[in-house]
């Protein structure tokens, strides 16, 4: 099954920001495009807005004047649904209400030809449920674009329970012909991106609710240590707290209130107060004119230790040993079967975040996971009230000697980056095991849809196949609510690896 021929008209119903963006994508790809909106004159206004964006593309040298003129000639507002009768594809981008979408597609079935492909751009509703209202649901598919549609490459092609393989394939190939990067997924709450991305927000909010760190510090650690483009607090301020919470709540409800997707009470209070982020001037941060941006916690300069004793290879943080030597600090290595850690001159220990807490041990400071310890500009350390001041000082000075800013946070298991990445890896394994998507498509979706530095399976391979399960096991022991219990898919993956390695 191939993509739609460029001579085939494409219709977009709903002419808000997303509808206009999808229409522009189809238009620039070369299709005749019809615009329809139930509100009078809105389709004509949308056509004018798209024309203005085409003008800007010409000004930036991204489109020739001739191509712009040809595209404008192919764009036509429709006064009613009957004006979409000759279309080969209709994409809906209207209000996120099941009854509204079902009513629209029932009406479209009476207008378009039997072989017309019908698609919804829903981000939170069930494709199966919307298509369930149709007489011929086999031709119905989800085409979930990301905003802004002309710029972001990812499109989730969602097959409902009744979607024909030929329909899904045609939608996939059409999206690819439009210059997009499509990924195929089954109809599951949140699809790929909004399902697997939940821990990025949830764990940041949980650390905040535990009073372990403030939003500015958590965001800085996610960016400067985790390698994420934005922190969870600044990103949700950009998205809109109401929008982000709505998606989280929808996924949670759709999974029958699964504890792994529980919404944040702190975010709920933010929404209730009307602090929705940039669009209202205040959210987690104050975005009003003249407001000062809060700075992350950064520790004062401390003296580095003269030496460290390395017990084990530090696992995912093994690169630190070479970095410490390069900084002129002596590394004494000792074989150790009981884990990996650095012993500081004062007798305290420094260990990579593993889901345990500092208070459980004598004089231990934990350091957080980093995407790349050489490139990281900030490292988070956590300690309990019982950790010795000398140990905290030596640990701080050590990382400062490596050129890092150091943020001291509270004694929370898994810290910030480690718990977030472990949970993302777990949800990814669970999704693939349940047939939602392939590993390759999951990694592609998370890199392109939310700009993660690595896909979950790329993270897993880099960190070691047992790492995430081990961290989550430790977290689950300290929070037995089920939120951190490793999925059966991750457990099988980890156990099979351990079994194979033990037999070799």
Residue 256 gets which letter from DSSP?
Answer: T
Q: Please compute Rg for the chain using Cα positions.
A: 26
Residue with tokens 């039997």: 114
Q: How far apart are the first and last CA of the chain?
A: 46
- Residue 156 annotated among the catalytic residues of the structure: yes
Residue with tokens 């079967």: 337
CA 410 to each of CA 239, 263, 356, 413, 414: distance values in angstroms, whole numbers, following the listed order: 28, 22, 13, 9, 11
**In the annotation, is 439 catalytic?**
no
Do 189 and 254 meet the contact criterion of CB atoms below 8 Å apart? yes
CA angle, 137 as apex, 131 and 138 as ends, to 5°? 135
Cα torsion 64, 69, 74, 77 to 10°: value is 120
Choosing from 144, 287, 429, 493, the catalytic residue is 144
| CA dist 55 → 396, 439, 484 (Å) | 54, 40, 50
Active site residue 384: no
Catalytic, out of 194, 264, 470, 487? 194
Spatial neighbors of 164 by CB under 8 A, at least 6 apart, are 138, 139
CA dihedral 232, 233, 237, 239 (to 10 degrees): 10
Mark whether 123 is an active-site residue: yes
- Range 121-130 burial, b when 16+ CB lie within 10 A, else e: bbbbbbbbeb
Given the residues 123, 225, 250, 358, select the one marked as catalytic. 123
Q: Which of 109, 156, 203, 245 is catalytic?
A: 156
What is the residue whose two structure tokens read 């070691």? Answer: 464
The runs of H, that is alpha helices, within 83-146 are 98-109, 127-131
Which positions are annotated as active-site residues? 123, 144, 156, 194
């Amino acid at each position: 099954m191939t993509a739609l021929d460029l001579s085939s008209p494409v219709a977009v119903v709903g002419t808000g920001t997303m509808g206009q963006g999808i229409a522009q994508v189809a238009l620039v790809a070369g299709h005749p495009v019809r615009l329809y909106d139930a509100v009078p004159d809105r389709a004509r206004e949308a056509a004018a807005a798209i024309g203005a964006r085409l003008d800007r593309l010409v000004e930036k040298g991204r489109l020739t004047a001739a191509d712009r003129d040809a595209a404008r000639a192919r764009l036509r507002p429709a006064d009613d649904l009957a004006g979409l009768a000759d279309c080969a594809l209709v994409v809906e981008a209207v209000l996120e209400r099941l009854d509204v979408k079902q009513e629209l597609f029932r009406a479209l079935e009476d207008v378009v030809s039997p072989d017309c492909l019908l698609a919804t751009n829903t981000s939170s509703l069930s494709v199966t449920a919307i298509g369930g209202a149709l007489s011929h649901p086999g031709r119905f598919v989800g085409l979930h674009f990301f905003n802004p549609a002309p710029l972001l490459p990812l499109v989730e092609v969602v097959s409902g329970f009744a979607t024909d393989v030929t329909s899904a394939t045609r939608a996939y190939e059409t999206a690819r012909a439009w210059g997009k990067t499509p990924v195929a997924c089954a109809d599951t709450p949140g699809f790929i991106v909004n399902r697997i991305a939940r821990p990025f927000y949830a764990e940041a909010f949980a650390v905040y609710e535990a009073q372990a760190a403030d939003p500015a510090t958590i965001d800085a650690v996610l960016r400067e240590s985790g390698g994420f483009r934005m922190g969870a607090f600044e990103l949700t301020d950009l998205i809109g707290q109401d929008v982000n919470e709505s998606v989280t709540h929808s996924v949670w409800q759709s999974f029958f209130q699964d504890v792994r997707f529980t919404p944040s009470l702190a975010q709920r209070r933010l929404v209730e107060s009307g602090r929705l982020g940039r669009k209202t001037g205040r959210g987690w941060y104050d975005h009003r004119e003249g407001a000062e941006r809060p700075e992350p916690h950064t520790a004062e300069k401390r003296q580095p230790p003269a030496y460290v004793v390395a017990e084990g290879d530090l696992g995912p943080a093994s690169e630190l040993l070479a970095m410490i030597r390069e900084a002129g600090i002596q590394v004494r290595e000792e074989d150790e079967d009981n884990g990996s850690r650095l012993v500081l001159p004062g007798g305290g220990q420094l260990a990579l975040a593993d889901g345990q807490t500092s208070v459980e041990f004598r004089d231990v400071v934990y350091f957080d996971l980093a995407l790349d310890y050489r490139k990281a500009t900030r490292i988070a350390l956590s300690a309990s009230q019982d950790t010795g001041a000398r140990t905290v000082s030596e640990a701080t000075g050590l990382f400062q000697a490596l050129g890092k800013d150091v943020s001291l946070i509270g004694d929370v298991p898994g810290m910030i980056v480690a718990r977030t990445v472990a949970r993302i890896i777990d949800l990814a394994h669970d999704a693939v095991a349940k047939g939602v998507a392939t590993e390759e498509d999951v990694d592609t979706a998370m890199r392109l849809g939310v700009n993660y530095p690595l896909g979950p399976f790329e993270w897993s391979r880099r960190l070691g196949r047992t790492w995430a399960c081990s961290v989550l096991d430790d977290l689950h022991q300290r929070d037995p609510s089920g939120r951190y219990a490793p999925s059966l898919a991750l457990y099988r993956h980890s156990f099979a690896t351990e079994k194979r390695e033990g037999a070799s």
